[in-house]
Structure 1
């Protein structure tokens, strides 16, 4: 697939799910648009790609994907960092950027967020000098709803849903006793560090259920300093044994996993 084809696919999302051939000359007649996605689907995807807060855990709030105006954007990095791209759109413009060697030779430590994204940001800023960009209006099939979590595991927030799929009430754990067990990582999981994300910003989720049982995490005979049922661990390369123990340090459940 070419950069032009990929940019046109993102342009389809920007145009509320309607796609058409690109018009490359002023004297060229514009092609008739064709419905590819319904408006609701396109809006939900645009909402996901424009979520600055969701990216902040990985890239921080200030990064080459953060604009002062509304945009939806995605980066990608090929295997062995051979090349990378950044595609995104605003209310008015769709911009695609490819960075790589024409020979196909891998680059060194250059990912989508450090290679193509800064170029994309500079182009977008130039295009929007004195020109605002507003988020799309919600179509009839999409609704905004408040999302809350039992026992305040996460702060409540508002999110977008296809009508009929929005949450009605917080999910509550079963009141019957269940022996706690590790949900993630699963036994013998192999976790690969993402070359696109700085290692000091990467995290691996540890989770046990039910969350009402008092337990502590133990990783290779060391306690990482958390008794929360959801714990974000800064990964290290190697083989690990992860356990949960009760107040008497008795092992309740244990899994082995590796990081490379």
Structure 2
């Protein structure tokens, strides 16, 4: 009877263990992105790992520059290497480069902060921002996700997708209610998406945060698909119903110019 020789290299169980470690390390880094600054115990609770395992993962990330540790406070934060990786994405992303002139022009015209978001899984993720000059400004943290059913950008990114896709991403509900204005049912959301398609833009009317309105418009590429959304948020005092229509018209012109740069005609 001949015994098969084991091939040199890592065993399958070793490979599985390495992949699991990588997944855990990435989950820690993503949790730190959400928390911004956190202690070891906070991060361990966030990712559902023991403190000792979380510490080992953090120490590896720290040694590679993806995590920084403040010795005096014992608090961890995202490191420079993670920023460099994100910067590489920004530099290669044609959408962001193409959007810059249109977003700059909107800020000059509206004097409000302008955001650019894309669909990622079941969230709208902010990938670029140009700040306005108002004393009171509405900010979205870059890299943060926004709920699709309760945000202007989310509704735009869903509106031109098949109904089956919407149901697959969000389910039948009920959806989380952030305010009394939030849409919480699938039927209500589908009606709202039909309205967005009809008027060509979406409005977040205090659906995520009381006192804040948002207008969002679609950006298309050469395939004629909606690939991103540009949005402007402001306090309700600066966004009356009449102002929303005027702002939407200006934003649609800017988004059309951007879409043309991306190959849409």
User: Structure 1 length normalisation: TM-score?
Assistant: 0.28
Which structure has greater helix proportion? 2
* TM, length-normalised to structure 2: 0.28
Point out the structure with the larger strand share.
1
